Structure 1
Amino acid sequence: MASDTGTGSPERRPRREGWRWLPGSRLGRLIIVLNLFGLAILISGALVLNELRRGLVNARIDSLTTQGELIATIIDQAATVGEPEPMMDGAYASEILQLLSNPRSQRARLFDAEGRLIADSYWVSDRVEWRTLPPARTRGDGPGLDLNLSGEDDPQDAATAKAEAALRAEVNTALRGVHWAGLRMGADEERVVSVSIPIQHVKAVLGVLTLEARDVDEIIAAERAALLPFILIAISVSLISSLLLNRLIAHPVRRLARAADRVRLARARAISVPDISRRDDELGDLSRSLEDMTHALSERIDAIERFAADVAHEIRNPLTSLRSAVETLGLVEEPAARDRLMAVLQNDVQRLDRLVTDISNASRLDAELSRETPTPVDLRRLISDVVSLYQATARAGEPSVVFTPAEPVEPVMVSGQEGALGQVLRNLIDNARSFSAPDGEVRVGLSRQRGRAFITIDDDGPGIPPENLESIFERFYTSRPKGAAFGGNSGLGLSIVRQIVVAHDGSVRAENRRPEGAAEGGGEEDPRAVAGARFTVILPEARR
């Protein structure tokens, strides 16, 4: 009989508190924190870079606009000649542009009212505009280099033409008296922050001043280089978190799977991974649950093996008797002896039938108990119904059955399966009646105490030997009084009782009753000190 509590299973430890403000389980919270930490670093770096790039462009536009308005005002005041049709003195305006000496990172151009370039800060400084030469091209008609310097089909010439077109459009916009500020692409396909400011005298547009800053790409490249440590840190955190997750989750799960394979391949009877079972997380719970499950399955397999051996042993006895009677029947010629052998054969057949029926019921019991859902059961009503059935079907010369419940008269509710509990009552009552005298009485009692229900079945029989008070619940155990018919019981009734009661989280015990007024010193080994047997079933009451 398997115990109701698994032995050898690791003790469940209380789980530590931590990170309760995050949703999910402990491992789930750990995974969330590790993954979000690296992602937060990367997002923070990207946000910082975007803000700096946007602020850099805006700052450059504001700076160039302020400088351009100042230079345009000076040129308007100092280099404007002619009334009433004013004109800009190009030579004097160029000198003014040279005197203002723009920073080396900027380029200033001056256009007249027709959009012609009349001054360029590159002309009055040591700054030389340059670009990379295109790769050498081979001639299509043979070996050697193509010495055509016309620049046709040169992608850099196309970029230059595109940049000049953008500049002309910008200057034309300013010639209409509109300030222009923004980003455009230069000849080297670099970003250029440019502002074009019209030089106006009253309402007449005398020219256009264009200021450019070409260091935006350099600053952005520097910012990207500054972002590289953030990226490396984020990658490192992601790698470390992945390794930790592999170490904490993937590797233990793989070990559990291999342990389960060993159990499946019959190389082990139970899963045992001690270092995982000691963990205080979901994997530790899983490992302990698997150990408990396989331990329970191992105990059940052992119980089935013992049950099969007991069944084989019990069936062998009537089969041996049957074979002997059949072999002897052909040698006996006296009618009386043949009648006795026929009676033996009938008795053995009935015994086999009873054994097969009880064994079938016992083998189905586990499956039935696991399939049915527990429901509230009123023990007072159940006992009354069972006892009433015995009273209604009682025959002359059979012991009577009475129900003597304790007060108060109110329902005693337990959680379980009514059919299985009814079988417990019938088996105990049948056992008590088999040991009672024909005019005897079997008394069924019911009481409650401290949240538990107590069912007692008393008889007036010879009692139970003290050394057998526990062994009577073993399978196929039979101990009948002298004169009882041999083979009249299968020895499974009390075993089934304990199996059902344990499945309901209860217990059952047997004891001998002492007669009223018996001396305390009288030992139970003295038959005169025993008034009968008592079986007590203890079940937990259902929560209300």
Structure 2
Amino acid sequence: MAESKRIRLPGKRRGSMFLGSRIARLIFASNLAGLAILIIGAMVLNEMRAGFVVSKKQDLVAQAQIFTSLLGEDATTPEPSLDVDAARQTIVRLNLPERVRARIYTPDEELVGDSFYLSERVDIDALPPIKEPSRIARIGAALSEWAGRVFGPIMPRRSSEAIRTQSFEEEFDSAVLGDVAASQRFSDRGQRIISVSMPIQRVSAVVGVLTLEASDIDEIIRAERAALVPFIGVAVLVAFITSFLLTLGIARPLRRLSLAADRIRSGASDRIDIPALTKRKDEIGNLASSMQGMTEALLERIEANEQFAADVAHELKNPLTSIRSAVETAERVTEDPVASQRLRNVIASDVKRLDRLITDISNASRIEAEMTRVPTEQIDIARFAHDVVRTYEAMVDGPEDITVSFEDATMGARLLVRAREGPLGQVLRNLIDNAKSFSPPGANVQVTLEQTNSGPQTVARVRVEDNGPGIPPDKLEEIFNRFYTDRPKGTAFGNNSGLGLSIVKQIIATHRGEVYAENREEGGARFIVDLPAI
């Protein structure tokens, strides 16, 4: 049975909330770091692509304005109408880029000129094999459509320079009405193109439509994807670095704690001593501190149990030695009735002492087990103390018997404490029995309940006073040690095992209270128990 120290409840742990947790923030930030880089890269590249597309549109619009001006001067008649032959010759003379295609239409959407055919340009591109899209491609397309539906309403609105996706017919109809129309779509060859259609006018009459198409948008997209590669590389590098840091910051410390615990289990060490971990200001630091405190408390408990076993062996050995000596002596003095009676009295006294000692050891072990299994409850300390005192009133048979009385000095304050009823009752009984053992015949043991304060904390104070010889001033603390049995002259021997006050101190410590002793001015001893009230 170990002697317990005063127990202090741990305060609020650092990092108990999710956002207040250092490890949670570290994991959260590390997991988002790579994703954030990819998102930023995608946003940057999206802006780059939009800028490329808008620049290409503006370039086509500028070229179309120049070309429609030339066509309006050189390929129109005064009627007004479009001179088809002149329009075709003008297209041939135009110095168009390799990926730009020019077409001329009449207002009836009749194609009258195509730069690709008039310049005899032939594009040779290998057609991709015809095959069904893979399951992954279908899933990707479905996810893309879902993302567009979900996030479309919250995406920023496109500017006026952005290019819409529309069919050629819609683009042509706008140009015929005299507007400049631009769109992006797929050609009949499956190429992504940017198209600009602009009216050819004679004065204010629309005599035809010029369409310029640029098919180098795929190269822009490929360049965009190539530009995304560095961002992917950085994201992978960040993921690798954060994983490495998480390993250093979490996995390795936990491994060190595991190895330290294994060393304790195997007997290679008796405590966890990892100062680098206990100084950390996060959950791992809390865990290391808790494990270190747990092992130290366990070690103290083991040492206390070993000391208790040694003390018990010593205390049992003394009366057994005395009994053995008395028995051996009794065999030699059988002819002396007086000596034989004296030896029998010694044996009876030692047997009584052994019985008292074994009973108190059993009670101490039972109470320790009860304090670890039985939960605390709210107890009205005035009612509880009065009930304990009333059990002693029935033991008074004559004027020589010692009486026990109770006084509630709280004026009905009804103080409540959190305690275990069995151990708390053992405290009061031990103190009252101790006071009775030192009181003269016919005396009174006074139990008083008071209310006091310790700072902002309300305290329930129980005083147990006797009229005995008192306590030597240098023994006021030592009397709470185990197996302390020094008694004043004239007091009965064998009535105390030296465990009663030690048990009291242990129980009160587990209830976060205090117990101490002092001498009364008018004579006698006073034991004071302070318990925090609710």
TM-score bracket for the superposition, by shorter chain length? 0.7 to 0.9
Could you tell me which runs of 5 or more consecutive residues in structure 1 were left unpaired when the two chains were aligned.
133-153, 160-168, 516-530
CA distance in 1, matches of 2:461, 2:129: 104
Q: Which amino acid aligns with 2:388?
A: V
Q: Would you say 1:47 and 2:46 are equivalent positions?
A: no
Preserved contact between residue 23 and residue 282 of structure 2 (Cα < 8 Å): yes
Preserved contact between residue 192 and residue 213 of structure 1 (Cα < 8 Å): yes
* Structure 2 match to 1:471: 478
* Structure 2 match to 1:285: 286
How big is the shift at 1:38?
3.7
How big is the shift at 1:431?
0.7
Q: Would you say 1:268 and 2:269 are equivalent positions?
A: yes
Give deviations 1:417-471, integer Å, cap 9, x for gaps: 2332221111111111111111222222232332533322222222222332222
Residues 242 and 406 of structure 1: CA distance in aligned 2, closer, same or farther (over 3 Å)? same
How big is the shift at 1:67?
6.5
Q: Which amino acid aligns with 1:537?
A: V
How big is the shift at 1:292?
2.1
Of the candidates 457, 469, 474, which is equivalent to residue 462 of structure 1?
469
Q: Would you say 1:428 and 2:431 are equivalent positions?
A: yes
Structure with higher RCO (Cα < 8 A, 6+ apart): 2
* Structure 1 match to 2:390: 388
Q: Would you say 1:360 and 2:362 are equivalent positions?
A: yes
* Structure 2 match to 1:95: 89
* Structure 2 match to 1:124: 119
Q: How does 1:414-453 map to 2 (within 5 A)?
A: 414-451=417-454, 452-453=459-460
Residues 399 and 53 of structure 1: CA distance in aligned 2, closer, same or farther (over 3 Å)? same
Preserved contact between residue 98 and residue 121 of structure 1 (Cα < 8 Å): no
Give deviations 1:389-436, integer Å, cap 9, x for gaps: 211221322211122443634333333223322211111111111111
CA distance in 2, matches of 1:29, 1:499: 42
CA distance in 2, matches of 1:213, 1:404: 104
How big is the shift at 1:478?
1.0
Q: Which amino acid aligns with 1:98?
A: V
Residues 191 and 458 of structure 1: CA distance in aligned 2, closer, same or farther (over 3 Å)? same
Give deviations 1:185-231, integer Å, cap 9, x for gaps: 686x7544457999999xxxx99976432211222233334334433
CA distance in 2, matches of 1:484, 1:48: 94
Give deviations 1:278-319, integer Å, cap 9, x for gaps: 222332222222222222222111111111111122222333
More displaced, 404-413 or 244-253?
404-413
Q: Which amino acid aligns with 1:538?
A: D
Of the candidates 488, 497, 507, which is equivalent to residue 500 of structure 1?
507
Give deviations 1:48-105, integer Å, cap 9, x for gaps: 3335445655775687589679968987997699x9xx9x976544212113433333
CA distance in 2, matches of 1:14, 1:285: 8
Q: Would you say 1:106 and 2:100 are equivalent positions?
A: yes
How big is the shift at 1:539?
2.4
Q: Which amino acid aligns with 1:252?
A: P
Residues 80 and 461 of structure 1: CA distance in aligned 2, closer, same or farther (over 3 Å)? closer
Three-state SS of the structure 1 residue aligned to 2:246 is helix
How big is the shift at 1:335?
9.5
Give deviations 1:154-201, integer Å, cap 9, x for gaps: 867989xxxxxxxxx989x989x99996433686x7544457999999
Three-state SS of the structure 1 residue aligned to 2:44 is helix
Preserved contact between residue 454 and residue 536 of structure 1 (Cα < 8 Å): yes
Give deviations 1:96-142, integer Å, cap 9, x for gaps: 211343333312357999999975447538xx64658xxxxxxxxxx
Q: Would you say 1:513 and 2:508 are equivalent positions?
A: no
Preserved contact between residue 79 and residue 89 of structure 1 (Cα < 8 Å): yes
CA distance in 2, matches of 1:251, 1:186: 60
CA distance in 1, matches of 2:262, 2:351: 46
Preserved contact between residue 482 and residue 499 of structure 2 (Cα < 8 Å): yes
Preserved contact between residue 4 and residue 509 of structure 2 (Cα < 8 Å): no
Q: How does 1:135-534 map to 2 (within 5 A)?
A: 182-184=184-186, 191-193=192-194, 211-324=212-325, 336=337, 347-396=349-398, 397-406=400-409, 408-451=411-454, 452-515=459-522, 531-534=523-526
Residues 466 and 453 of structure 1: CA distance in aligned 2, closer, same or farther (over 3 Å)? same
Number of aligned residue pairs: 483
CA distance in 1, matches of 2:98, 2:124: 17
How big is the shift at 1:269?
2.5
Q: Which amino acid aligns with 1:532?
A: G
Residues 291 and 155 of structure 1: CA distance in aligned 2, closer, same or farther (over 3 Å)? same
Give deviations 1:19-56, integer Å, cap 9, x for gaps: x9x93423323433344344223212213333544565
Residues 238 and 359 of structure 1: CA distance in aligned 2, closer, same or farther (over 3 Å)? same
CA distance in 1, matches of 2:264, 2:128: 73
Residues 267 and 13 of structure 1: CA distance in aligned 2, closer, same or farther (over 3 Å)? farther
More displaced, 366-375 or 317-326?
317-326
Residues 13 and 361 of structure 1: CA distance in aligned 2, closer, same or farther (over 3 Å)? closer
* Structure 2 match to 1:163: none
TM-score (norm 2): 0.73
Of the candidates 32, 36, 39, which is equivalent to residue 28 of structure 2?
32
Preserved contact between residue 358 and residue 490 of structure 1 (Cα < 8 Å): yes
Three-state SS of the structure 1 residue aligned to 2:447 is strand
Three-state SS of the structure 1 residue aligned to 2:451 is strand
Three-state SS of the structure 2 residue aligned to 1:365 is helix
Three-state SS of the structure 1 residue aligned to 2:494 is coil
CA distance in 2, matches of 1:49, 1:410: 75
Preserved contact between residue 76 and residue 200 of structure 1 (Cα < 8 Å): yes
Could you tell me which runs of 5 or more consecutive residues in structure 2 were left unpaired when the two chains were aligned.
132-166
Residues 186 and 491 of structure 1: CA distance in aligned 2, closer, same or farther (over 3 Å)? same
Preserved contact between residue 107 and residue 122 of structure 1 (Cα < 8 Å): no
Give deviations 1:369-392, integer Å, cap 9, x for gaps: 233333333332222222222112
Preserved contact between residue 102 and residue 121 of structure 1 (Cα < 8 Å): no
CA distance in 1, matches of 2:109, 2:222: 38
